[in-house]
Amino acid sequence: MNGITGLGERKVIKIIMEHLEKMPDIPFPYGDDVSAVQIDDGTLAVLKTDMLVGKTDIPSGMSLKQAARKAVVMNVSDFAAKGVRPLIALASLGLPKDLNEKDVEEIGLGLNWGAREYGAYIVGGDTNESSDLIINCSLLGFCKKSTLVKRGGARPGDIVAVTGLFGKTPAGLKILQECLSVHRRIEKALLDAVLMPKARLWEGLALAESKVLTASIDSSDGLAWSLSELSDASGVGFIIDDVPLAHEAKEFAEAYGLNPLDLALYGGEEYELVVTVKPQDWKKAKEVAEGVGAKLTKIGRATEGREILLKHDEEIKTVERKGWEHFKTL
Amino acid sequence: MNGITGLGERKVIKIIMEHLEKMPDIPFPYGDDVSAVQIDDGTLAVLKTDMLVGKTDIPSGMSLKQAARKAVVMNVSDFAAKGVRPLIALASLGLPKDLNEKDVEEIGLGLNWGAREYGAYIVGGDTNESSDLIINCSLLGFCKKSTLVKRGGARPGDIVAVTGLFGKTPAGLKILQECLSVHRRIEKALLDAVLMPKARLWEGLALAESKVLTASIDSSDGLAWSLSELSDASGVGFIIDDVPLAHEAKEFAEAYGLNPLDLALYGGEEYELVVTVKPQDWKKAKEVAEGVGAKLTKIGRATEGREILLKHDEEIKTVERKGWEHFKTL
């Protein structure tokens, strides 16, 4: 295969990282979900940037308003995983010249919607002409150094848990991409998961604030990939005995002869939090989540061995370390 | 004309701004060169994002390393104009899939180069697939609220000054775009201006720190446009009696029958600072610039009337309020 299509996104990132001089005394590891710089002894400024590209990230059926909202939400989701409240956002736009005035309005409305939904404001940005629609969002927030949750803090024996049910987004994406028809009973839930993703900000803030998390990541590249990243950063493995599946995803998988577990593990574009908690803090963690109207579901345990295993129907299978990746899936 | 090509970039920005809920108590005006949020009574966190798009911003003859460097430098230039030192930078990349591993290395090297040249570090980012090459850089820095220089502080009678000579970049761009040949004596200076733009960071920091500036902007969209923006934000006009022209730009203009003043006023992609200074602070301002090895050149005065006038060869002409603008010039 020619060009970077053969390399894959993670290898591309690795090559770039190798050519960057590392900042001394950085308060947060390179390669985690956000970047941070120390303001004073106890406080960090936290920065995140993430780009939405029309061709790969905006499925047919998603309006420009929804796409612009999503460009903000996917950044907020990383802040949620780290326990950081977003304060201000900048939007850099690459706009194809065939967009019209109404389209530009929709983008403005969507950006504002995504930011205000999570208490942030869009305060600036940049506009350019490009072939693809590009919406790049950058977020800034502040947090106590003591509450920022890394990927690398999970230890063997920790409980691994998630904030919601999996499988709806990949099912919804399949419906949009392959023009599938499903029963109206489940269609709305599956499409809403794609078109109106929600970041688990309030859950992430409450859990981080209560200091019950040892590690955290969002599931935007798929549950399997999130576990793989936590595994690499923390030096642990996982034994998973429950993958919480949305009933709509199960019904969809049955109708189309798909394995619902594959949808849930390898789908991506779902913005749940995947967290680890010390067993003695589990009760408190569940209560904290309930306190903000959410539910933390235990899906397994961190292990000494580095493998990620799934116990299902009395069988133990290896969870593949794969997920959504640019330059590979296209 | 269909689509946003007929609207122009500034109208596109206006439409988007109209749909953004404004943040209360924002410490720095919307529409200025950077965005800021208050950390404590005296300190601001300052944020900037700017996107470089291959098709419009990377002329033929510019290497990927130079392009990635430029993507950082054009952001640093805005920090320079406001008197803010950049601390960390994030890079969001949209990469065409026909790039190869060596190309990706060049981009990594260029990003690092642009950041380290000005004391900053690239600490994170995002990688995507796109049709155009997209390099979006976001910068974060901190500054004292009392030293941040706005666009809107110029008053009638203030001296307007610049940090360098104009015309080389637009001449160099013409050489690259139209494959012109010029004498080797001037070729390098003209091409270097395009390929290796420099931000006036040390000048901007020293001038801001010494509190001699009433307003400031960089000249990235052209000197005429910078004056127009200062005029709008400050509610003043300008009478310009000197446009400092690079001798290479004069020689180029003569060889190709162009008006060198047009190159200097309407060219763009030059990263000088355009600042205003109270007459009583002028001597100090010049000394401060000299202290960092630079030269501040007086080009005119701010006026009560809102026009921007140019006194040249005993004639007075109106400087057009035009400059580089996406969706209009293509």
Residues B7 and B48 in one domain: yes
Task: Determine, yes or no, domain membership for A326.
Answer: no
Q: What is the CATH classification number for the domain harbouring A238?
A: 3.90.650.10
Looking at CA atoms only, how far is residue A68 from chain B in angstroms? 11
Quick check: B136 and A3 CB within 8 A? Answer: no
Sign of CA dihedral B60, B64, B65, B69: positive
CA–CA dist A182, A193 (Å, integer): 15
- A65 interaction partners in chain B (CB closer than 8 Å): none
In chain B, the percentage of residues whose pLDDT exceeds 70 is 97
Mean pLDDT, range B216-224, rounded to an integer: 96
| Per-residue pLDDT tens over the stretch B185-215 | 999 999 999 999 999 999 999 999 999 999 9
- Residue B329 has a pLDDT of 42
Residues A219 and A298 in one domain: yes
Task: Determine, yes or no, domain membership for B150.
Answer: no
Grade residue B295 by pLDDT with cuts at 50, 70 and 90.
Answer: very high
CA–CA dist A218, A214 (Å, integer): 14
Residues A228 and A287 in one domain: yes
Quick check: A99 and B48 CB within 8 A? Answer: no
- Residue B4 has a pLDDT of 80
| Per-residue pLDDT tens over the stretch B83-99 | 999 999 999 999 998 99
Grade residue B327 by pLDDT with cuts at 50, 70 and 90.
Answer: low
Task: Determine, yes or no, domain membership for A295.
Answer: yes
Residue B109 phi, psi (nearest 5): -65, -40
- B20 interaction partners in chain A (CB closer than 8 Å): 108, 111-112, 121-122
Measured CA to CA in angstroms, residue A36 lies from A120, A192, B28, B126 at distances of 18, 33, 23, 15
Choose the closest CB to B101 out of A15, A99, A138.
Answer: A15
Query: What's the one-letter identity of residue B286?
Result: K
Residues A206 and A314 in one domain: yes
The residue ranges of chain A whose pLDDT is under 50 are: 1, 329-330
Residues A275 and A202 in one domain: yes
Best A9, A15, A20 member to test B by mutation, with max B CBs in 10 Å, is A20
Domain end call among B114, B144, B174: B144
Residues A109 and A189 in one domain: no
CB A277 within 8 A of CB A210: no
Q: Where are the alpha helices (DSSP H) in chain A?
A: 9-18, 54-57, 64-82, 101-117, 168-177, 184-195, 201-209, 223-234, 247-255, 260-266, 282-291
In chain B, the percentage of residues whose pLDDT exceeds 90 is 88
Looking at CA atoms only, how far is residue A106 from chain B in angstroms? 9
Residues B16 and B101 in one domain: yes
* pLDDT greater than 80 at residue B101: yes
- B99 interaction partners in chain A (CB closer than 8 Å): 3-4
Residues B239 and B299 in one domain: yes
Choose the closest CB to A23 out of B47, B121, B125.
Answer: B121
The Cβ of residue B314 has, within 10 Å, a number of other Cβ atoms equal to 5
Residues linked to residue B312 through DSSP beta bridges, in sequence order: B315
Token pair belonging to B18: 């109209």
Residues B306 and B216 in one domain: yes
Best A1, A4, A33, A117 member to test B by mutation, with max B CBs in 10 Å, is A4
Looking at CA atoms only, how far is residue A223 from chain B in angstroms? 19
The DSSP line for A124-159 is EEEEEE-SS-EEEEEEEEEEETTTPPPSTT--TT-E
- B326 interaction partners in chain A (CB closer than 8 Å): 127-129
- Residue B224 has a pLDDT of 97
What DSSP designation does B83 have?
T
- Residue B328 has a pLDDT of 58
Closest to B299 measured CA to CA, from B273, B325, B330: B273
Domain end call among A144, A167, A187: A144
Average pLDDT, chain A: 94
Measured CA to CA in angstroms, residue B259 lies from B57, B164, B166, B255, B317 at distances of 24, 19, 13, 11, 14
Residue A131 phi, psi (nearest 5): -75, -50
Mean pLDDT, range B33-57, rounded to an integer: 94
- Residue A322 has a pLDDT of 85
Mean pLDDT, range B254-266, rounded to an integer: 94
Residues A195 and A129 in one domain: no
Task: Determine, yes or no, domain membership for B128.
Answer: yes
- B87 interaction partners in chain A (CB closer than 8 Å): 37
- Residue A329 has a pLDDT of 42
Residues A185 and A130 in one domain: no
Quick check: A16 and B116 CB within 8 A? Answer: no
Q: What is the CATH classification number for the domain harbouring A92?
A: 3.30.1330.10
Task: Determine, yes or no, domain membership for A238.
Answer: yes
Task: Determine, yes or no, domain membership for B177.
Answer: yes
Residues A131 and A56 in one domain: yes
Q: How many domains does chain A have?
A: 2
Domain end call among B85, B118, B144: B144
- Residue A2 has a pLDDT of 60
State the residue range of the domain holding B172: 159-318
Task: Determine, yes or no, domain membership for A325.
Answer: no
Task: Determine, yes or no, domain membership for B152.
Answer: no
